[in-house]
Amino acid sequence: MKTTMKLINYLGMAMVIGLFTFTMNSCSEDTQSFENCTNGIDDDGDGLIDCNDPDCANFSNCNTSDDPTVELGGSVGTRTLHPDTIYVIDRFTYVDDGDILTILPGTILKAKTGDGADASALIIARGGTILAEGSADKPIIFTSVDDDIAVGETESTLDPALDAGKWGGLIILGRAPISATVAKGDTETSVEGVPESFAFGKYGGSIPGDNSGKLKFVSIRFTGTKLATNSEIQGLTLGGVGSGTQIENIEIISSDDDGIEIFGGAVNVSKALIVYQADDGLDFDQSYDGTVSNSMVVTFNPSEGNDALELDGPEGPSNTTGLFTITNCTFINKGGNGRAAMLKSGAQGTITDCVFEDFNNWIFVDGGSANTNFTNGTLEVLDSEFDNASLTGVFGTSADSTTNANSIASFEAAGNVATTTFTKGATADFSWTWAKTLNLID
């Protein structure tokens, strides 16, 4: 009897210990497999985040047919944006001095529609950093809230020919030297459309190598709304951005103003594609001292005065030595009377090894200061190819006949040729872009 009771006691104790062990193991497994559903982190290590994880199927914010959304407005602080969420830019949204905005591959940001005080734009302030590194198969996309593009998609539902100007655009500001007018501040000023009282809108400084971060495989769509009278922002605006910033594999499509406008600074841009801009493809101001290379501008029915290139020089008395370089780029006109290039206002720099195709109007040097620079070699167009019967009529100036003759002679002696067999220009692979999907660059 005693032996039987002991056996029962041992068996009971074993069952308690087993139950305890099972419970502890179960708790441990539950803890390891718990997905938070709202923190943007892969908590359970299964490669799926928040609402994309089946564990979150019954979570209230995920139990919907729509993609989860998060609004961004004002200062966003230091944070990471994830591709399983649509981020909505609400009016001026900025990355302040010292903050870092990381955007993971495949992330989509949509901006609210509006102009003036209601315009939306993402601004990277001086000292702020953007780390937006997409990939060819997972580009980062900036678009409009009117675009029904969904998580995981790359094609927009709006029309590039009709839907420009839905929102402002992406603005990056830095501490590299600029040359603004004295009235604007000479070496420091505010970006167009942002009130001067807002510190996050200022740019310029004395650090040529300033680093504002990285943009790689980024598509910016349907931009160019007015922030103020005669003050629009572009698809991509770069103000005083330093050479430490990396910008490559960029698509600007359907801007109601310029594609990319660069105000001073020394940032280099490569493998950029600009399509369906209403104004200029590339616009340089305030003594830009960097290089744009291996890039393409395709203009569609621009009005007269809107050019593939509009290039200006220094505006103020300081930082006047900046020399731009445009090399191995292709410029194509697909209708309208836009010029290939307007070089004006003391423009200084070099255009070399480029291709200009199907323009009705070609290279025009406007004003005495730009013509003087062209004559003395501070402004040059070298070794480029023009789709024309001859160089006659390709080059024009607005100066007196003596300067005009000297400039034309310099142009013809600089290795420029008339040809329909192109050996130069951009060689970048733009197959990842939406414009290529739409057959806009063929």
DSSP per position, 45-58: SSS--GGGSGGGTT
**pLDDT tens figures, 186-206:** 999 999 878 888 899 999 999
Separation between Cα atoms, residue 17 and residue 14, nearest integer Å: 5
What is the DSSP-derived secondary structure letter of residue 10?
A: H
**pLDDT tens figures, 40-97:** 677 888 877 776 676 776 565 554 447 899 999 999 999 999 999 999 999 899 999 9
Separation between Cα atoms, residue 5 and residue 251, nearest integer Å: 81
**Is the pLDDT at 5 greater than 60, yes or no?**
no
Closest CA to 261 of 277, 249, 245: 277
**Per-residue pLDDT at 17:** 42
Instruction: Return mean pLDDT, the chain.
Output: 88
pLDDT bin (cut points 50, 70, 90) of residue 382 is very high
Q: Are the C-beta atoms of residues 76 and 70 closer than 8 Å to each other?
A: no
**pLDDT tens figures, 91-149:** 899 999 999 999 999 999 999 988 777 789 999 999 999 999 999 999 999 999 999 99
Question: In 82-175, where does DSSP find H-type helix?
Answer: none
**Is the pLDDT at 259 greater than 90, yes or no?**
yes
**Per-residue pLDDT at 132:** 98
* Angle (CA) 101 435 332, round 5°: 115
Helix H or strand E encompassing 412 = helix 401-412
User: Hey, what are 105's tokens?
Assistant: 């591959």
**Is the pLDDT at 30 greater than 70, yes or no?**
no
Model pTM score: 0.85
**Per-residue pLDDT at 442:** 81
pLDDT bin (cut points 50, 70, 90) of residue 155 is very high
Instruction: Convert 306-336 to b/e letters by CB count within 10 Å (16 or more is b).
Output: bbbbbbbbbbbebbeebbbbbbbbbbbbeee
**Per-residue pLDDT at 45:** 81
Is the model more confident about 306 or about 77?
77
Is the model more confident about 10 or about 145?
145
